[in-house]
Structure 1
Amino acid sequence: MTGPGTAPAPPSRGGRWIQHWDPENETFWKETGEKVARRNLFFSVLSEHIGFSVWTLWSVLVLFMGPDYGLTPADKFMLTSMVTLVGAVVRVPYTFAVAIFGGRNWTIISAGLLLVPTVAAFTVMEPGTSFSTFLLVGLLAGIGGGNFASSMTNINAFFPLRKKGWALGLNAGGGNIGVPVIQLAALAIIGAGGGPRVLLGIYIPLILVAAVMAALYMDNIENVKNDTGAAKDAARDSHTWIMSFLYIGTFGSFIGYSFAFGQVLQNQFGRTPLEAAYVTFIGPLLGSLIRPLGGWMADKYGGAKISLWNYVGMGIATAVLIGASMEKSLALFTGAFVVLFVLSGLGNGSTFKMIPGIFQNKALAKGLEGEEAAAYGRRLSGASMGLIGAVGALGGVGINLAFRQSFLSYGSGTGAFVAFLAFYAVCFVVTWAVYLRRTAPRGPVTTATSEAKPQLSYAKV
């Protein structure tokens, strides 16, 4: 029999399958688990990184599409909205695919699938192609958004609770960097006088590399299984939907602004594609890099506290954007937008860290202890992450549609920013009211919490 501190047992079936995995056991973690988990994290980040690049491909391609393509600004915002929508929707099935196929196996499959939208875009990217064709091919690129959900679900199973904030933040941040990287690549290609097919030609071999590396170096965990009961329990739990709403405010902002920033600079401030490309990558890059810090801060100080004040910062940055937009100050507008990106990245890390902590607290409130409590927390947090990630990504759809309507109605993005400011205010109130306010217990969840130990305060999640 396999001991608690020993290496994983030999694979029981074809492929790299680990039978025994107990990251909460410190002996196991130090002797075996940490090395294996870090290796899988690294190659998971690589695949997710390429996935994010493909998902946000059209935020770059629309910069190449000048008047000869015959698309209006409203057409372009509609195109990026639909790409974001597909990326949000496919996150749900991608979450469950890990348990069906195995984390390693699904990473290989999902990486390989990225060839479909990339090759299709390479084929149709030329003036004279109809908007409906661009829209159809753009919808295919949405599958890149699903890689995030399967990657996060997979990595969540590899790491102990005390390391999840850092691990999930690093995994997501490394994936998010796919956004500025493809924008930087586009900047270099535009500057060199190249066209969009050059960019697409670079990514086709990179997709193949990601799939091969996953096959060679990643693992499947035997005891990660789909639990339809867990999915139903997560869907019925109010915290799943509360966190989905809060994640709209952070990740929805990040991905929505990533798609829209360059178009806003072109349409509102008259920037050329090259001038827009010079700055569009900065915000997504900094927002991606800071996401692990948000997870680390949440581990140390509590995700709810970090998220609360992060929404305050996002509200202030948005208010500055409104002023800069009305005064037509490009420098102030660009600076405030970059700050907003940074805060959205920080909030991504802190809000996602709250998820396992909330369900772990609920396990303790039920009287569970040790591995039993950890298993309960993993079960519900893993099931809820796909839903939360999917709903959060829908925020990106809302942002692009809001910009589209704002430009149609007012000729600028000011109206959209006013709506975003109001939304961040609501996120602040919800975070405070649900996770930080101290009141007399009401309802079944708070009653259970009140009967447990004092440290079960959600303020510490």
Structure 2
Amino acid sequence: MPVDTAPISPTTPPSAAPSRRTGRWIEEWRPEDTEFWEETGRPIARRNLWWSVFAEHLGFSVWLIWSVSSALLLAQGFDFSAQQLFVLVAVPNLVGSLLRVPYTFAVGLFGGRNWTMVSAGLLLVPTVGFAIAVANTATPYWVFVVIAATAGFGGGNFASSMANINFFFPSSEKGAALGLNAAGGNIGVSIIQLLLPVIVGGAGIFGLVKASESGTHLARAGWVYAALAVVATLAAWRFMDNLGTASVKPREQLQVVREPHTWILSVLYIGTFGSFIGYSAAMPLLIKLNFWVPDPAPLGTGIYFAYYAFLGALVGSVTRPLGGWLADRLGGSRVTLAAFAGILVFTLGILWTLGRLTPNPGADPAVASDNQGWFPLFLGFFLLLFAATGIGNGSVYKMIPSIWRAQALESTTAGTPERDAAVLDSNRKASASLGIIGAAGAVGGFLIPLAFSAPWVDSPLSATKGAFWVFLAYYAVCAVATYAVYLRRTQAKTAIVTV
């Protein structure tokens, strides 16, 4: 049976608990107190973590539902151009990034449990809308864009989930906890890309599951995920808790936008998470445009995207907790710099592979057949790139609370009430900055598919190569910034805290 409230401190009379609280509120929460954490805090925190993972996982799946379904719309009977499909992939990422800031503050205003219920329930809008729209081939393109935009609700879930879990765990375990929470959500991208083609009958799984003989039925995916949204809402109501200590005042917390660290870390997170979510969204279409054509029916020629598109998001999700774990032990800045070094190398590998491909603007089976010989290298470099972005995601998110906590410790004396208050305030600042930095990172998920679409470039392959050169330059800037701000010992003390 879930615990309604943690025990009230013996020195605090029961009447001191705020009377406005009803339902599942915990008014006393001291994760940095070892005795409290071992005896009371850890099991409650872990229970909230696992159900947060479930809700966030579902949010990511809905957020990226268009990444794979857009590649199946033509088979469903819709006549959209490659540029239009990339826009459908990109729009949810833009909306999701914009929602991350208000979603972050919603945890402090309404409670983590309460907002998880609301945010999970909101997923009914994009899922039911998706099911209705794809069932009718007369649905106009602008309606698809609007419905795709509402899928951004799922992207906002990440920010509120991370802000909530940040309050539950002590600083020594934040990297691993936030990494697990994020990975559980991130892997929703891989799951939707793997299972959606199977659910809708568009493809099997490496011969283990056969494609539907009756054709593609995209509406099925919408109804399945609508049902899961109801399950997530009920699970949050039954098993999660609100923390009274997580209350925030948005106006005060928005002061983190004045901190240089907030914007430096935003730049880094665009490079890691923006790459992860952007490449996850675009990868199915990249494979389809360069390595596969639908002729001759029914199997087509070349590499079918549905068999491989999920692998990138899977690798990036699995390596994210590893990045948090390494950051807890080695320092987030060191791990982040190593991650960007890997991202640079693997991006160069992808560019080298793309240079060997033949442009395929006419969907020629002969070209697809020639290009598929280079697919193993293309996929291999891409999976290594995803692994590096996943590690970077975990390490950057470890850096965020570490920076605020380090500044609190430097400005106060150990064992004083001022120290306790400063540490609590550092948690609030960290949660606020998680939302802003997370929002900035998600913008990368919008820009990357748009860069690949590049309607001003005649050849899709040329647009893809040009986009990767731009990304390469950005990664170099991120690597330099990580070293200059967080690793060089010649900086001011507050700028070179070990994070």
Which TM class, normalised by the smaller chain length?
A: over 0.9
- 1:288 aligned to which of 312, 317, 335: 317
1:214 aligns with 2:263: no
Deviation string 1:352-390 (CA, Å, 9 cap, x unpaired) is 100001111111222354523421321211111100000
One of 71, 81, 94 as aligned partner of 1:85: 94
Between Structure 1 and Structure 2, whose CA radius of gyration is higher? 2
Of 247, 252, 255, which residue of structure 1 is paired with 2:269?
247
Return 362-371 or 105-114, whichever deviates more.
Answer: 362-371
- Tell whether the 8 Å contact from 1:174 to 1:288 is kept in structure 2 after alignment: yes
Q: Is the 8 A contact 1:57 1:182 kept in 2?
A: yes
Q: Which residue of 1 aligns with 2:434?
A: 385
Aligned residue number for residue 109 of structure 2: 100
Range 63-72 or range 259-268, more displaced:
63-72
Contact kept, 8 Å, 1:64 with 1:195, in 2: the verdict is: no
Q: Identify the range of structure 1 (128-137 vs 169-178) with the bigger mean alpha-carbon deviation.
A: 128-137
| Residues 114-170 of structure 1, C-alpha deviations (whole Å, 9 max, x = no match) | 001100110010323211111011111111100000000000000011110000000
Output the CA distance in 2 between the equivalents of 1:311 and 1:406. 29
Amino acid at match of 1:121: F
5+ residue gaps, structure 1 = 450-455
1:398 maps to 2:406: no
Query: What is the identity, as a one-letter code, of the residue corresponding to 1:421?
Result: L
Write 1 or 2 for the structure with the bigger share of helix.
Answer: 1
CA change 1:102–1:183 in 2 (3 A) is same
Q: TM-score, normalised by structure 1?
A: 0.93
Q: Give the C-alpha shift of residue 271 in structure 1.
A: 5.2
Pick which of 75-84 and 48-57 moved more: 75-84
**Cα gap change, 1:210 to 1:356, in 2 (>3 Å):** same
CA contact (8 A) 1:256 1:395 kept: yes
CA distance in 2, matches of 1:271, 1:337: 21
Q: Matched residue of 1:69: which SS?
A: coil
Sequence identity (%): 46
One-letter amino acid of the counterpart of residue 80, structure 1: V
Query: In structure 1, what is the equivalent of residue 119 of structure 2?
Result: 110
- In structure 2, the partner of 1:130 is 140
Does the 8 Å CA contact 1:56/1:179 hold for their aligned counterparts? yes
CA shift at 1:63, angstroms?
Answer: 1.7
Could you tell me how far apart the structure 2 residues matched to 1:406 and 1:323 are? Answer: 23
C-alpha distance in structure 1 between counterparts of 2:425 and 2:17, whole Å? 26
How far is the alpha carbon of 1:398 from its aligned partner?
1.3
Q: Structure 1 residue runs of 4+, over 6 Å off?
A: none
CA distance in 2: counterparts of 1:427 and 1:89, whole angstroms: 22
Q: How many residues align?
A: 446
Deviations 1:182-236 (A, max 9, x none): 1111232322224211222221211111111100000001121122354232110
Question: 1:174-213, aligned counterparts within 5 Å?
Answer: 174-189=184-199, 190-191=202-203, 192-193=211-212, 194-213=216-235
2:169 corresponds to: 159
- CA drift at 1:98: 0.7
2:398 counterpart (330, 347, 353): 353
CA-based RMSD of the aligned residues comes to 2.0
The answer to which of 307-316 and 367-376 deviates more is 367-376
1:232 alignment counterpart:
254
Partner AA of 1:153 in structure 2: A
- 1:66 corresponds, among 52, 74, 87, to 74
- For the pair 1:335 / 2:364, whether they are aligned, the reply is no
Alignment partner for residue 139 of structure 1, among 146, 149, 169?
149
Distance of aligned partners of 1:292 and 1:3 in 2 relative to their CA distance in 1, 3 Å threshold = farther
Counterpart-to-counterpart distance in 1, 2:444 and 2:314? 19
Aligned equivalents of 1:268, 1:424: Cα separation in 2: 24
Task: Report if aligned partners of 1:406, 1:414 keep a CA contact under 8 Å in 2.
Answer: no
Supply the distance in 1 between the matched residues of 2:489 and 2:37 (Cα, whole angstroms).
36
SS of corresponding position for 2:237: helix
Q: Which residue of structure 2 aligns with residue 321 of structure 1?
A: 350
Contact 1:187 1:278 in 2 (8 A): no
Corresponding position of 2:337? 308
Q: In the superposition, relative to structure 1, how do residues 4 and 33 fare at CA in structure 2: closer, same or farther (>3 Å)?
A: farther
Structure-2 residue corresponding to 1:453: none
Match in the other structure for 2:389: 344
Question: Where does structure 2 lack aligned partners over 5 or more consecutive residues?
Answer: 1-7, 204-210, 295-299, 358-373
Q: Quick check: 1:278 aligned with 2:307? A: yes
Is residue 169–residue 177 contact of structure 2 (8 Å, CA) maintained in 1?
yes
1:363 is matched with which residue? 408
- Look up the SS of the partner of 2:355 in the other structure: helix
